[in-house]
Structure 1
Amino acid sequence: MQRAWGLHREAQFRDMGSNIFIVHFGSEGDYKHALNNGPWQFDFSVLILKEYKRKTRPSEMIFDTVDIWVRVIDLPPNKRTEVFGKALGNWLGEVVKVDVDVDGFA
């Protein structure tokens, strides 16, 4: 994962069991990059990253969502709006962001 994430400093991985790992990043910049620039995959499986709260048991952590980027090709010009993008995104799941210009068009 270090190569895939393009880390500047070495990260340490600790196996917590049940396919859960704690990653200690060598820098805050590397941590933010890995956390905010996914989705990531490992061995053809999705890799879900979450901020870890030290008092939480690994068995209590829920990994049931992943942010993905969706590109819809060949939309009519009148459908390339933030409003339509949010409507379409909400049909798929929960919208995080719709990429549009300052006028609200993609």
Structure 2
Amino acid sequence: MVPEEESMNMDDIDEESPDPEDRWYKDDLEDRPFDLCPTIPVSKEEFEDWCKLWRNALIIKFLGKRVGLAFLEQRLQRDWVKKGMIHVIDMDCDYFLIHFSDEEDYSHALLEGPWMIAGHYLIVQRWRPFFLKSEHHVRKIAVWVRIPNLPIELYNYRFLWRIGSAIGHMLKIDRNTSIHSRGRFARICVEIDLAKKLVPRISVLGSELNIE
């Protein structure tokens, strides 16, 4: 569950004591000129502190289908939860925010896709601030990328991580790739930005390798 802030007992409030939030508003409201869009002060430190709660959260959306909150939570509890708990929040524009209490469950949901529920794929992406205010909501998604015909001498953890970092935000190397048990292609999980062009190939030591 998402931790709740400590509740405030109204009986404990001293109406004679100054409100700490009043430091932002030194002038009386009656003396202030009307502002059609007042700026609400939030410091960088405050905002970063408020964001900490959502670091282990994902934003998801169904492709071509609308589902109810109860149905989705039941299915995700079955497919994603191994150790901790999840809290599903219904958002605007048919998005859902999934908060994880356990980091391993979070990584499992983010990295082990693609996921399908009721015959429809889920778009899964990491939470980021002001998500619904973005011009393009579905912008960054985690995808598995293949590098076919990778020379065996390049099946190296550091080299594969460099590939991922060159084409997006590197997340994970497939375990079968990392232990050399798969000789036909290497597979890495990368978060890519859909607003940018996708990298079709890489160059290493004078040779070009395709990316799928």
Q: TM-score range by the shorter chain?
A: 0.5 to 0.7
CA distance in 2, matches of 1:61, 1:44: 23
The answer as to whether partners of 2:124 and 2:141 remain within 8 angstroms in 1 is no
Match of 1:81 in 2: 149
Max radius of gyration: which structure? Answer: 2
1:18 Cα deviation (Å)? 2.2
CA distance in 1, matches of 2:138, 2:119: 21
Give yes or no for the alignment of 1:48 onto 2:123.
yes
Say which structure is richer in strand: 2
Q: Which secondary structure does the structure 2 equivalent of 1:62 belong to?
A: coil
Match of 2:77 in 1: 2
The answer as to whether partners of 2:87 and 2:99 remain within 8 angstroms in 1 is yes
Computed over aligned residues only, the root mean square deviation of the Cα atoms, in angstroms, reads 3.4
1:24 Cα deviation (Å)? 0.5
CA distance in 2, matches of 1:10, 1:30: 8
CA distance in 2, matches of 1:38, 1:2: 15
Match of 1:30 in 2: 105
TM-score under structure 2 length normalisation: 0.32
Letter in 2 for 1:82: L
CA distance in 1, matches of 2:81, 2:102: 12
Q: Which secondary structure does the structure 2 equivalent of 1:57 belong to?
A: helix
CA distance in 2, matches of 1:35, 1:66: 7
Evaluate the alpha carbon distance shift between residue 30 and residue 65 of structure 1 in structure 2; reply closer, same or farther with a 3 A threshold. closer
CA distance in 2, matches of 1:34, 1:58: 24
Deviations 1:47-75 (CA, angstroms, capped at 9, x unpaired): 111011122226641168663689xxxxx
Match of 1:61 in 2: 137
The answer as to whether partners of 1:16 and 1:58 remain within 8 angstroms in 2 is no
The answer as to whether partners of 2:83 and 2:105 remain within 8 angstroms in 1 is yes
Unaligned 5+ runs, structure 2: 1-75, 152-166, 185-212
TM-score under structure 1 length normalisation: 0.59
CA distance in 2, matches of 1:63, 1:47: 14
**Percent identity of the aligned residues?**
24
